[in-house]
Amino acid sequence: MKMTEKFGTLESKINKPFTYFITGIIWLSIVLIIAVIGSVFDIIFRRWNDDIGMFIIIVIAQILLIFCCTALIMSFTYRRKQKIRKVMINEKGATFYNSRNHIVDTVLYSELQHSKSSSADIYVRNTQTVKYGKITLIVFLRDKTGEMILKNIDFNFEYVILSNQYELYRHFLKGVQRFRPDLEIGRQTIEQYSLTTEHPPANEWGTFEYIMAAFFLLVVLAVIYAFIVIIKTLV
């Protein structure tokens, strides 16, 4: 990218089919768990026999189901105002927004610092060894007291699937190259995001992606089937 060219703004794009699918599965799981809880209560209070051992087992299972359902609801709804739903990357850096379009966090190019403990000032960290595992960018900043801190730039939003995640990381790194050439980007990061070329490689699905999508769908169907069997058994 030439210095005379304007550095454009890139906004995150939500993959709505996958996001709605995951959201639907979560709420379906909650509804199914509630149905099972109701069926167990019906057994306990209306049709229970004198088997104390089985009674204790069912009560413990009921407590675990209630805890699981409560945890799902809380993780999905708690502190929604603080959860990031959008990011915009421009010539200043990255700005993160919540569902109400209020700014939640910013990472400015001018704030980035040189690392004193790493060979690179900014690099990618993959938290999983599998292909397309969760990826974060590691940068260094100074807090309000002047202490050097490590900061994760994460474009993996909770319960939201982005369709241009790769492009977001690449655009931010391109901004580092242009506005902070004094910072050193890790060699592996440069190669992974094709920072030496003008255009990123085409992001197409291969055999791995189709296999993982099919596996995920089978797991979801298996969970739904298991819940249905449990409900029929208890009713």
* pLDDT surpasses 80 at 63: yes
- Neighbouring residues of 98: CB distance < 8 A, sequence distance ≥ 6: 80, 81, 82, 83, 84, 85, 104
Q: Which is higher by pLDDT, 29 or 232?
A: 29
Which tens digit of pLDDT belongs to each residue from 97-133? 998 899 999 999 999 999 887 789 999 887 654 444 5
Residue 122 pLDDT = 94
Alpha-carbon dihedral angle through residues 76, 77, 82, 83, given to the nearest 10 degrees = 30
Share of the chain above pLDDT 70, in %: 71
Residue 130 pLDDT = 44
How confident is residue 216, by pLDDT bands cut at 50, 70 and 90?
Answer: low
* pLDDT surpasses 90 at 11: yes
Which tens digit of pLDDT belongs to each residue from 141-180? 998 888 999 999 999 888 788 989 999 999 999 999 999 9
Residue 205 pLDDT = 53
Strand ranges of the sheet holding 135-142, from the earlier edge strand across to the other edge: 123-126, 135-142, 148-154
Least Cα distance to 153 among 176, 177, 187, 181 occurs for 176
